[in-house]
Structure 1
Amino acid sequence: MEQSSKLKLSHYFRPRLLELLHDYDKSRFATDVTAGITVGVVALPLAIAFAIASGVKPEAGIFTAIIAGFLISALGGSRVQIGGPTGAFIVIVYGIVMQYGLANLLICTIMAGFILVGLGVARLGSLIRYFPRPLVSGFTSGIAVLIMLSQVKEFLGLDIPVMPAEFLHKVPAIFDALPTLHWPTLLLAIASALLIWYYPKTWAQKIPSPIVALTLGTLAVTLFNLPVETIGTRFGGIPQGLPAFDPPEFTLATLRYLIPPAITIALLGAVESLLSATVADGLADDKHDPNQELIAQGIANIVCPFFGGIPATGAIARTATNVRAGATSPVSGIVHALVLLLIILVAAPLATNIPLATLAAILMIVSINMGEWREFGRLHRYPREDSTVLVITFMLTVVFDLTVAVEVGLLLAGIFFIRKITDATQVSQEETEHEEDTADTEPSRKLRVPRGVLVYRVYGALFFGAADKLESVLHQQHLEPEVLILKMDEVITMDASALHTLQGLAAKLQRRGKHLILSGPHTQPYFLMHSAGFFDEIGRDNVCANLDSAIRRARIVRDGKAESV
């Protein structure tokens, strides 16, 4: 019994860390430690910047990077995935904080965590791959635009007491505040952005550009006493020490109206993490377990809010840095979390003079790199349907929100897909000649059938979108065959709507004393028709394995040797 329980648990919960440690050695450990230190240094400024841009305190981002980074690496289904706060969540988190408050953001994150765990346990991780690429490109680029807009205030030093969350209110607020532009802030932000953008790639392998920009910006503020906003002036610094356990309070009434934002967090987290894991697979020549990854993401998002953390997911840029630094196992991700913990325990006071302008510059570069701008230049090469999905998803993400964009994008993609499959489905009459009119020795390309027999070839997917093509056979009043053969060996799938239409066709022929014969149905259509009792309706002898046997059966029923069905 105990062994059976262990087998069931291993079916649902199989962290890659346990699999990879069987042949782990000192050499790999040394490489992973080096990679973990590198990623930890890269993650620090990003964690701070993402938190501030999300409308929460900077330490919330660091705590999230530590806790989620540790749990996602230790429990995840990827060998090199790095978890933590990401730019994609900035817009979502800021909107939730503005609308529902910080306490309810924490509850939303916990709810999203349970949703993610549920998706993983239900083995639904692979469904994320059914998100069309234009949809993902559209909302990713839309989020990038919103991140840029969210940083305009800090980049220009504008006096906007509370930045609106909605695009339609945010843009006017920015324009109205342009007269308050603060030149020292703008110059520092531009200098930081240029440094990051033009930083030599060969140097970045040793010292990441955001760290250099953050260090130089902080030194400039400290040495020259620049009149710009810093973490110290805005938040009073970053506390030195471990995060406190502080469970958020909630009521059942609160949970009800937090379901939509929780679903949004879970949806974006699932897509972002599995996209990141897929990128990691390509870089590290590996194959992640999407269901285990979702379970780990869910656990991380359940735990983080109890320590003041925000939503976390797989981070593509940090994961890529991890791979390039030589990571071989999840140990590097665990080391990255420990490095961040060490930094906050030892060096937290040094963050007081970090300028917000430099953090804004870092996020501006992140958003530029995040957006899939090249896809817009390729729109003319893509099918019109794909271009439409990309552009509409992008616009809805920017103007409204991610939930609306994904819902409409998926609906459009589904409609376009149905239309494509419908167009590919064909129901056509085969060219035939009567056996009675030609000799057996005469060569002919036409199908030889008994007089009064018609053969229709059905190709593709028979489903609700293509059912009308099958109905067209019903309207061929002038043909009046004694026997109608449907050649179904090229029908790959069939649904209840097509079955209903087929039943109508059989009933119409039955009322006229005619016969319906099916030829070579595939496995899925066969079992659907069988389980629905359709074979009993038309007569089991009228279901034939191939066209030759169907024609032989047609001779029998035409000559009256079988009862009309």
Structure 2
Amino acid sequence: MLSLSHFNRRTIKGDIFGALTSTIVALPFALAFGVTSGAGASAGIYCAIITGLFASLFGGTNQQISGPNTGLTVAMAAILTSFVAQSPEHGIAAAFTVVSLAGIFQILFGFFKLGKYFTLVSYPVISGFTSGIGILIILSQLEPLFGATLTQLPISFSIFDSTNTLVGLACILILFIWPQKYRHIVPASIIAVIGATLFYVFSGVQIPVVGAISGDLPSLNLPIWDNALAGEMVKSALLIATLSTLDSLMTSLTVDTISNDFHDSDQELVGQGIGNFVAGLFGALPGGGATMRTITNLRAGGTTPLSGILHALFILAIVLWAGEYTAYIPVAVLAAILTHVGISIIDWNFLKRIHKIPRFSVVLMISVMLMSVAFDLVTAVLIGVFIDNLVTIRRLSEIQLDNIKLFTAKDAVYLPDEEKRLFESLDESVLLLHITGPIGFGVARGLKQCVSTADQDKTLLIDLSDARFVGITSTIAIEEIIVGYQNEGKQIILSNVGDRVRKDFNKIKLLDKISTDHVFTTRIAALNYLKQQSAS
């Protein structure tokens, strides 16, 4: 979040240069994302201005540059198309209300400190998600480039003769072959835009162009609520909030790696949420942290939130004074830029090593990628995370089951000599259930099975000396074991119930189920008690 300490002579020069450089990179992308969304170029431009400004003012990552990006654009295009089809009168207004609602959700995510949880997504899910977005963005640019959708392409190629297509393909070629050593001086996207624009101006050919952006500031539009779209609005807002959050926090983590700094995830969500809330009010696309533009800002010298604020103001100045010149920019060059982005964000590194990666990770990545294309992004991510968590829980449960051991006297070799002698003197009349480490809900069934297969005629001593955490499900399983033994008239003893485990037990009043003289602070005290009982 911006403070007075950010205004100092040591950093302001770098912030200005970082803002200028990132503005050059951001402009063609803002135009391209706006056009692709169906809301118009100005929606992308003002997204960069509004979210860039407010995320820098109130966010938690010093060098973050926010604006429209691929996943959010794909999602917003689908939302606009769906809402207009369902409600021609209110569809567009409802779609931008969704953007503001998404901002509110993000603010709530930050307020309830949920930021840390959004980064707990496995790499195969993120890889499939981003690769799916890449495929979607490529598919969305087929019509601007070739004048045909995917199913129409075979017919289109049979009658291929389009200057627009040639311009687009030439721009894609430029984007791929522009030398890397010059990219930090002049980005390839700027070269493509300038080249395509000059071709349009001097050749006299008639191809689709972006159109002029009005120099007037966008008008404020109050949110509307359409009952017919209520369910879709909430679902869509959660999708936008989630995508923006993931993009922003992933970018923040990238910044931390490069700058050796540490961002505030929850504050970042508040800043991004405020930006998206305001963006929706002015008919702008939703935005999030833009990794490439942020890294450009960082490497050009930007070190404080001032660079993001200046970035937004520089774009605003260009729009107000030179917005009319976008009328000469061919749509094909923007389609080429986004096609290049789509190809670039597909996780080729993962796909190249697919034969070396565990089968589950491969299947998970490809499944999320295909679901992103076939269904929608939020469904793909939710199903991917759900499946991944189930498998992770199963694997953790298998590890945790190793922390549960049932011993007889001859097996308990880990005991200290004095305790081992006491245990052996009980003549195999006692079973020792030793629980170590954290015990989650996934091992509750295994815990009960471990005891149920043992000799039920023996006394059971449950030793919790090394148990650090016992979840509610496992606590209930232990309660069922205690009640089962008591119903059979058998004796059950507890030892080493630490403070952390006692809190878990007290949640369901488990210790009320067992006599206090059967609960011991140490294992040796419990064994001495059993020795005295056997002697009497």
Q: CA deviation at 1:442?
A: 12
Aligned to 1:485, the other structure's residue is in SS state strand
In the other structure, the counterpart of 1:95 is 78
Q: CA deviation at 1:548?
A: 2.3
Per-residue displacement from partner, 1:251-272 (whole Å, max 9, x unpaired)? 4554444111111111111111
Letter of the structure 2 residue corresponding to residue 74 of structure 1? L
Per-residue displacement from partner, 1:358-394 (whole Å, max 9, x unpaired)? 1111111112222222122334444443333222211
In the other structure, the counterpart of 1:41 is 24
Match of 1:450 among 423, 426, 431: 426
Asked if 2 retains the 8 angstrom alpha-carbon contact of 1:54 and 1:90, the reply is yes
Per-residue displacement from partner, 1:102-157 (whole Å, max 9, x unpaired)? 2221011011111111111111111112222221111111111100111111222x
* TM-score, normalised with respect to structure 1: 0.87
In the other structure, the counterpart of 1:545 is 521
The answer on 1:471 being equivalent to 2:471 is no
Stretch deviating more after TM superposition (461-470 or 259-268): 461-470
Asked if 2 retains the 8 angstrom alpha-carbon contact of 1:134 and 1:387, the reply is yes
CA distance in 2, matches of 1:399, 1:96: 16
Aligned to 2:441, the other structure's residue is in SS state coil
The answer on 1:480 being equivalent to 2:470 is no
CA distance in 2, matches of 1:288, 1:517: 49
Asked if 2 retains the 8 angstrom alpha-carbon contact of 1:41 and 1:211, the reply is yes
In the other structure, the counterpart of 2:88 is none
Q: CA deviation at 1:461?
A: 4.1
Aligned to 1:283, the other structure's residue is in SS state helix
Q: CA deviation at 1:193?
A: 1.3
Aligned to 1:245, the other structure's residue is in SS state coil
Letter of the structure 2 residue corresponding to residue 320 of structure 1? I
Match of 1:418 among 376, 393, 404: 393
Match of 1:205 among 151, 164, 184: 184
CA distance in 2, matches of 1:225, 1:434: 91
Aligned to 2:302, the other structure's residue is in SS state coil
Asked if 1 retains the 8 angstrom alpha-carbon contact of 2:98 and 2:280, the reply is no
Aligned to 1:420, the other structure's residue is in SS state helix
CA distance in 2, matches of 1:556, 1:253: 75
Asked if 2 retains the 8 angstrom alpha-carbon contact of 1:421 and 1:461, the reply is no
Letter of the structure 2 residue corresponding to residue 432 of structure 1? A
Asked if 2 retains the 8 angstrom alpha-carbon contact of 1:189 and 1:357, the reply is yes
In the other structure, the counterpart of 2:352 is 377
Letter of the structure 1 residue corresponding to residue 452 of structure 2? H
Asked if 2 retains the 8 angstrom alpha-carbon contact of 1:385 and 1:416, the reply is no
In the other structure, the counterpart of 1:165 is none
Letter of the structure 1 residue corresponding to residue 369 of structure 2? F
- Residues 211 and 449 (structure 1 numbering): CA distance in 2 closer, same or farther, change over 3 Å? farther
The answer on 1:240 being equivalent to 2:215 is yes
CA distance in 1, matches of 2:340, 2:58: 31
Match of 1:192 among 168, 171, 183: 171
Match of 1:146 among 136, 144, 148: 136
In the other structure, the counterpart of 1:535 is 511
Stretch deviating more after TM superposition (269-278 or 470-479): 470-479
- Residues 384 and 539 (structure 1 numbering): CA distance in 2 closer, same or farther, change over 3 Å? farther
Match of 2:409 among 405, 411, 432: 432
Q: CA deviation at 1:248?
A: 4.3
Match of 2:339 among 330, 340, 364: 364
In the other structure, the counterpart of 2:63 is 80
CA distance in 1, matches of 2:115, 2:80: 28
- Residues 434 and 96 (structure 1 numbering): CA distance in 2 closer, same or farther, change over 3 Å? closer
Q: Which runs of 5+ in 2 are unaligned?
A: 85-91
In the other structure, the counterpart of 1:326 is 301
CA distance in 1, matches of 2:417, 2:442: 43
Asked if 2 retains the 8 angstrom alpha-carbon contact of 1:119 and 1:291, the reply is yes
In the other structure, the counterpart of 1:284 is 259
CA distance in 1, matches of 2:385, 2:6: 43
Per-residue displacement from partner, 1:139-195 (whole Å, max 9, x unpaired)? 111111100111111222x146xxxxxxxxxx4354555445443222212221121
CA distance in 2, matches of 1:441, 1:344: 82
CA distance in 2, matches of 1:179, 1:306: 45
Q: Which runs of 5+ in 1 are unaligned?
A: 1-14, 161-170, 561-565
- Residues 246 and 552 (structure 1 numbering): CA distance in 2 closer, same or farther, change over 3 Å? same
In the other structure, the counterpart of 2:530 is 554
Per-residue displacement from partner, 1:335-376 (whole Å, max 9, x unpaired)? 111111111111112111111111111111112222222122
The answer on 1:221 being equivalent to 2:221 is no
Per-residue displacement from partner, 1:271-317 (whole Å, max 9, x unpaired)? 11111111111112211111111111111111112222111111111
CA distance in 2, matches of 1:23, 1:363: 35
CA distance in 2, matches of 1:442, 1:203: 75
In the other structure, the counterpart of 1:4 is none
Match of 1:303 among 275, 278, 284: 278
CA distance in 2, matches of 1:552, 1:392: 58
Asked if 1 retains the 8 angstrom alpha-carbon contact of 2:408 and 2:431, the reply is no
Aligned to 2:141, the other structure's residue is in SS state helix
Match of 1:272 among 224, 242, 247: 247
Aligned to 1:230, the other structure's residue is in SS state coil
CA distance in 2, matches of 1:124, 1:480: 49
CA distance in 2, matches of 1:206, 1:458: 62
Aligned to 2:481, the other structure's residue is in SS state helix
Asked if 1 retains the 8 angstrom alpha-carbon contact of 2:25 and 2:293, the reply is yes
Stretch deviating more after TM superposition (467-476 or 359-368): 467-476
Letter of the structure 2 residue corresponding to residue 549 of structure 1? A
Per-residue displacement from partner, 1:228-271 (whole Å, max 9, x unpaired)? 22113xxxx22123222233433455444411111111111111
Letter of the structure 2 residue corresponding to residue 39 of structure 1? S
The CA RMSD measured in Å over matched residues stands at: 2.5
In the other structure, the counterpart of 1:26 is 9
- Residues 155 and 305 (structure 1 numbering): CA distance in 2 closer, same or farther, change over 3 Å? same
Aligned to 1:347, the other structure's residue is in SS state helix
Match of 1:499 among 448, 452, 475: 475
- Residues 444 and 252 (structure 1 numbering): CA distance in 2 closer, same or farther, change over 3 Å? closer
Query: Counterparts in 2 of 1:379-394, with a 5 A limit?
Result: 379-394=354-369
Per-residue displacement from partner, 1:407-429 (whole Å, max 9, x unpaired)? 11111011101101111122332
Aligned to 2:453, the other structure's residue is in SS state coil
CA distance in 2, matches of 1:456, 1:395: 47
Aligned to 1:458, the other structure's residue is in SS state strand
Aligned to 2:119, the other structure's residue is in SS state helix
In the other structure, the counterpart of 1:164 is none
Q: CA deviation at 1:333?
A: 0.7
